[in-house]
Structure 1
Amino acid sequence: MPEIWFPNLGIEIAHLDRVAFTVFGRNVYWYGIFIGLAVVLGVLMAMKEAKRTGQSPDMYVDFIIYALIFAIIGARLYYVIFSWDFYSAHPEKIFALREGGLAIYGGIIGGVLTAIVYCKRKGVNFWLLADTIAPCLAFGQMLGRWGNFFNREAFGGFTNGLLAMRLQVSQVRTSDISAEVMQHIVNYGGVDYIQVHPTFLYESLWNLCLFLLLIKFRPKKKFDGQVLGLYFLGYALGRVWIEGLRTDQLMFGPFAVSQLLSGGLIICAAVFLIRKGKQEKAKKESES
């Protein structure tokens, strides 16, 4: 029986292992490989853009070392804080990173704070650095979501749409399966499957489009910080929609935390872009 199945596309994947290979008895997971590949390719793209814009390419190698450390800390803190009911009862699990539990918004917050401190200490233009990195973030998120595919996670509720994905119930965390999804279990050849929205795929495709848009727009930007603003606006718009489909959200009361944060981010990014755009326009008019 296939382990992963897209019935309406006629695609069946017989076997998909979470572990890519083993080194000295330690498993190396596909999730980690995708994240590592995203970081390397993102740095290379940032270095190329830095060279084009007269910045120091080596600075981005230096910056990413700090950014990675604090992005991981931020991603873990975010996840633990909004899953405190579990971690307060199992404090020994807080540092068990190999068991999963990193939230992308926490990583972004950690990375942005690191960039602010780094730029202040190095005397670097924060907005220029941010515009250089923003498309790389979209690219990295596009690639990183495929780690969720290998892990059989970050999926949504039941659907019978074109991209509907079936997963073997035995290979999915029970806590990720909603009651609605359980009502639509499909038995095929004696194996139980859930049929869900592949939200990892939706977000990956959304981030790919965002990446291409930012790359196309970046040389035409009117002011430093515009690319970053567009990244936050575009990413948050997609996340508001996609997060509403997922069944494994971090919750704050009756609300999905990522949807609340995305909504606030949309407003902040839009206000920033409008105000900054008006300021630049007024500045040019006064100089002419």
Structure 2
Amino acid sequence: METIAYIPSPSRGVIHLGPIPLRGYAFCIIIGVFVAVWLGNKRWIARGGRAGTVADIAVWAVPFGLVGGRLYHVITDYELYFSAGRDWVDAFKVWQGGLGIWGAIALGAVGAWIGCRRRGIPLPAYADAIAPGIALAQAIGRWGNWFNQELYGRETHVPWALHITSSEGGRVPGYYHPTFLYESLWCVGVAFLVMWADRRFKLGHGRAFALYVAAYCVGRGWIEYMRVDDAHHILGLRLNDWTAMIVFLLAVLYIVVSVKKRPGREAVVEPGAADEETDGGAAADGTDGAAGTEAAPEAEAAGSAPEAEPEPETGDEAEEVKDEAGSAPTKKS
């Protein structure tokens, strides 16, 4: 059967700006990080935090996440780097692809915990704010696999088939299911699901993040089942399928337990942020902040508004006022 429509692969995944290589895979990851920080910052401020806090903690979380993602990939696919005929130096070539989301989230959480601890911020509250952004970052990052012509499924002739043209790394040119695209679209849906549920149910104490993890695992399970690249199998299932199922159960368990132990949402996510906003408002407009501006109408309604200062009186009126005060009046000559 002839494929009459398909998704073309890029002719190359890197452009050289003089001696500097500009790689599509790296650009997708960088753009994804910026989107995650931008959205996380907006959500953090809406929860009562300070602007810039998300970026400060991301300085810790992102490098840890990149290391964790690479470690997971190298450990679970060690034969690609340490078997006979392989060069172990390739394990450090991140730009060639190979970042496991499970390791990225796990070690990235360690980096975020360090950053949160330094700022006196609860990690679960930070995780809730950043969760939809992480899903969008994954959606963007998956397009890096398109640049590298990797992460595809079984052969197919659907109109949206991915046309693989490179034979590097054992690839067989042909038309395949674009599982990178499926996962990208799924992650966008997960991001919107978490934002809707967070707004609807006021999720807190890490439950928005746990919902993101659980929802992602559901999609990763069926997408992983479609992939045809080499992977370790346990009882007929790919290793990542087992990982998705275990992580899904842990995420759901966390939601159930945390709802019973800590219902509702955190009242304060960043100590001192509310006071700082009030002081900032007073300094900007010369008032005592929002509370001060609303106090005057309330005082006036209660009859406690300050009386206007009387106009100075002259002549005989001034003398009469002095008589009432019991002081000796002095007449003008």
Which TM-score band applies after superposition, normalised by the shorter structure?
0.7 to 0.9
- Greater C-alpha radius of gyration: 2
Structure 1 letter corresponding to 2:13: R
Change (3 A) 1:120 1:32: same
Which position in structure 1 is the counterpart of 2:12?
17
Give the distance between the partners of 2:148 and 2:23, measured in 1 at CA.
9
Which position in structure 2 is the counterpart of 1:195?
175
SS at match of 2:229: coil
Change (3 A) 1:121 1:110: same
Name the stretch that deviates more: 272-281 or 208-217: 272-281
How big is the shift at 1:84?
A: 1.9
Which residue, 211, 215, 220 being the options, matches 2:195?
215
- Cα offsets for 1:205-230 (capped at 9, x unmatched): 10111111112222232432111111
Give the distance between the partners of 2:189 and 2:164, measured in 1 at CA.
27
Which position in structure 2 is the counterpart of 1:183?
none
Contact 2:125 2:204 in 1 (8 A): no
- Cα offsets for 1:37-86 (capped at 9, x unmatched): 11112111111112111112212111111111111111111111112223
Which position in structure 2 is the counterpart of 1:187?
none
Change (3 A) 1:249 1:277: farther
Give the distance between the partners of 1:14 and 1:92, measured in 2 at CA.
27
Which position in structure 1 is the counterpart of 2:117?
120
Matched, 1:244 2:236: no
Give the distance between the partners of 2:122 and 2:7, measured in 1 at CA.
49
Q: How does 1:1-288 map to 2 (within 5 A)?
A: 7=3, 10-11=5-6, 13=8, 16-19=11-14, 21-89=15-83, 90-168=87-165, 171-177=166-172, 193-220=173-200, 221-251=202-232, 255-280=237-262
Name the stretch that deviates more: 63-72 or 212-221: 212-221
Higher strand share: 1
SS at match of 1:165: strand
Structure 1 letter corresponding to 2:207: Q
SS at match of 2:52: helix
- Cα offsets for 1:120-159 (capped at 9, x unmatched): 3332111110001100010001111111112111001122
SS at match of 2:154: coil
* Count, aligned residues: 258
Structure 1's unaligned 5+ residue stretches are: 1-5, 178-192, 283-288
SS at match of 1:57: coil
Structure 2 letter corresponding to 1:17: R
How big is the shift at 1:101?
A: 2.4
Contact 1:176 1:248 in 2 (8 A): no
Contact 2:10 2:146 in 1 (8 A): no
Contact 2:142 2:184 in 1 (8 A): yes
- Cα offsets for 1:160-206 (capped at 9, x unmatched): 345333322xx1434355xxxxxxxxxxxxxxx41211100110110
Structure 2 letter corresponding to 1:110: L
Task: Calculate the TM-score normalised by the size of structure 1.
Answer: 0.81
Give the distance between the partners of 2:11 and 2:97, measured in 1 at CA.
18
Give the distance between the partners of 1:14 and 1:144, measured in 2 at CA.
16
Which position in structure 2 is the counterpart of 1:180?
none
Structure 1 letter corresponding to 2:139: M
Change (3 A) 1:202 1:113: same
Structure 2 letter corresponding to 1:264: I
Contact 1:176 1:247 in 2 (8 A): no
Change (3 A) 1:162 1:56: same
Root-mean-square deviation (Å):
2.3
Change (3 A) 1:152 1:172: farther
Give me the identity figure in percent.
28
- Cα offsets for 1:215-266 (capped at 9, x unmatched): 2222232432111111000000100110111122542556422211111011
Give the distance between the partners of 2:124 and 2:9, measured in 1 at CA.
47
